[in-house]
Structure 1
Amino acid sequence: MVYALDPRIHRVWRSPSSLQFGVDRAILTLDDLSNADERMLVALEAGVTMSGLQMVARRARADAGAPARLLERLAPVLAVPRGAEQESERGAGRPVAVVDGAGHTAVRLIEVLDAAGVDVRSGLSWTDPAVDTAAVAVVVGSFAIEPERHRRWLRRDVPHLAVVFGDERVRVGPLVDPGAGPCLGCVDLHRTDADPAWPAMAAQLHTRDARRETPLIGSAAAGVAAFAVLDRLGGGRSLSGSSVTVDYADGARAERSWEPHPACGCLTLPTPER
């Protein structure tokens, strides 16, 4: 097994014997570093096995426990040990995310998620096994997502994130947790409360292209969606029950929370109208 410092974390010396990991935020600060510690850190920059680290420590006249103690202190800033990474890849595949939609945003989102190590699929039929086993899906559309389209993800208990282009802004979210939060049907019902004519308008808009998906706006929307997807795959809840809009004119962002609608049956039986 090879141990190495995470190359993404920058290191700066605070003093001749104090080393800080992280610049904007100090992830770790090591004080009172010895000559042996410094030599082992040099070895860890390129990657070294435990036996190699022990040899460096012996040559620097450190005691036998020095390598283990240093590795324990460095735990927050170590890269995934290469042996453990290979074993993980053999033991389980990458998490699967499905992009349900087409266009610049979908293409950019696929590129970003793939670069982040996600097994991202697109253009799948509803009979594809990946549809049922996906960890998360992103549904891209204009104005309003067709009910049957998002209900298919709801029925499969797959968390899904909406990316919806409108006349003046694109909305990313909410990220729907089936059975645990508002669904996209709840969003439509809330919009109907605000404007009773919304269902009639939405029916006309389900298959209409908003024609506002420029490379700039698409990249912005893909960035917001990618952060939410990666956070979810890591166990977080970004955009769960909430959405972010990006304005076409100036890129301004606004966030809104959504509540389950009492007339929707996604969580409980709908509340009868009086």
Structure 2
Amino acid sequence: MEGTFQIKEGLGVFWRSAETLQIGLDPRVGVVIEDLTPAEQDLVARLSGPMTAPELDAFARRHRLRPTRVERILSMLERADVLRDGRLAPSSPLSSSCVRIESLDPLGVAIGLTLARSGVGSVVFDDPSPVAASDHPALSRRGAGQRRDRAFLTVLRSAAPGIRTHGEPDAAVVTGSRLIDPRRTYGLCDERTPHLLAWVEEVDACVGPFVEPGAGACAACAYHARCEADGAWANLASQAALARPIGPTPAVRDLASALGARAVMGFLEGAGNTLHDVQWRVPQGAQAPYLVSVPAHPSCGCIGDGFDAPDGA
């Protein structure tokens, strides 16, 4: 027996009675274990912290537990999906994934840091813009004037010491203020790189859709929908793209970044695209976030085998 073993973090081990243990309090993830001897109960309780294989062997010898019985207890915990088993030790989908952050604005930095702290193995970025007082506090605390990407590199390595900053992206994050200019995403669509769109508006922050090129709504779809709803949108959008950026409040920034990072991580882990043709709206104030539909637009031409940059965007 090799490796390190531990009850999954956050579950906890509790006694329902002198003879019965419960791992986790939420019935959706918890499990009740009966018919363990006091020594076996102590073993399970000890597994609330990490135990190496030698430590398990030593515990079994001290308490006169047969190795086969220890293996059966570990197997039972594995089947209940409450044990983090160091014997398996495959690289997780997140740890082998690479995400590109297209812009190191406040929302992009917040999403990038959340992804890194959550186990994404590589985060790549290139933003030579100078740090300003309006940037994410993690950057602005390091002083205005230096390049955003250099400041972010220092912050990133502090937040996730083992993070890599190279690789081919499995997904990207495109953030902005007021809108996302579709031209910023044409290269990602051409390369078939899935990407999250997220931006800050005057009232809401918008998170989504998560674009799978050729299979759903993209930035140009959102642009065409706005043009259809407002005949002056093409003129307004070109001005908005150059206007002074809107700085999100810390609460909106952090909630929007959490929703965006969660969607990216779910996709990378194989759980599907939770923001396919939909978008979170995160309002200012006390109103809860809500989902809105963002369907593919028939004028876009982005659905199918080939991507053509839409006219007029």
* Per-residue deviation, 1:250: 3.1
The residue aligned with 2:38 is 35
Q: How many pairs does the alignment contain?
A: 262
* Per-residue deviation, 1:62: 4.2
Picking from 127, 132, 144, the partner of 2:179 is 144
The structure-2 alpha-carbon separation of the partners of 1:46 and 1:219, relative to structure 1 and needing over 3 Å to count, comes to closer
Picking from 100, 103, 110, the partner of 1:101 is 103
Aligned residues of 2:107 and 2:199 also touching (Cα < 8 A): no
Aligned residues of 1:14 and 1:20 also touching (Cα < 8 A): yes
Q: Deviations over 1:31-89 (max 9, x none)?
A: 222224213224434433446535544554444421121111111122241x654x639
Aligned residues of 1:189 and 1:263 also touching (Cα < 8 A): yes
**Could you tell me how far apart the structure 2 residues matched to 1:166 and 1:34 are?**
60
**Could you tell me how far apart the structure 2 residues matched to 1:84 and 1:62 are?**
24
The structure-2 alpha-carbon separation of the partners of 1:111 and 1:153, relative to structure 1 and needing over 3 Å to count, comes to same
The structure-2 alpha-carbon separation of the partners of 1:252 and 1:93, relative to structure 1 and needing over 3 Å to count, comes to closer
Picking from 275, 287, 294, the partner of 1:239 is 275
**Could you tell me how far apart the structure 1 residues matched to 2:191 and 2:166 are?**
8
Aligned residues of 1:39 and 1:56 also touching (Cα < 8 A): no
The structure-2 alpha-carbon separation of the partners of 1:88 and 1:28, relative to structure 1 and needing over 3 Å to count, comes to same
The structure-2 alpha-carbon separation of the partners of 1:84 and 1:64, relative to structure 1 and needing over 3 Å to count, comes to closer
The residue aligned with 1:14 is 16
Length-normalised TM-score, structure 1: 0.83
The residue aligned with 1:173 is 208
The residue aligned with 2:91 is 88
The letter of the residue matching 2:83 is L
Q: Does 1:121 align with 2:124?
A: yes
**Could you tell me how far apart the structure 1 residues matched to 2:104 and 2:230 are?**
29
**59-68 or 7-16: which moved more?**
59-68
* Structure 1 portions without partners, runs of 5+: none
Q: Does 1:79 align with 2:81?
A: no
Aligned residues of 2:124 and 2:166 also touching (Cα < 8 A): no
Q: Does 1:158 align with 2:193?
A: yes
Higher helix share: 1
Aligned residues of 2:7 and 2:48 also touching (Cα < 8 A): yes
Aligned residues of 1:124 and 1:131 also touching (Cα < 8 A): no
The letter of the residue matching 2:5 is Y
Aligned residues of 1:179 and 1:266 also touching (Cα < 8 A): yes
* Per-residue deviation, 1:148: 1.7
**Could you tell me how far apart the structure 2 residues matched to 1:249 and 1:35 are?**
52
The residue aligned with 1:257 is 293
**213-222 or 36-45: which moved more?**
36-45
Q: Does 1:198 align with 2:233?
A: yes
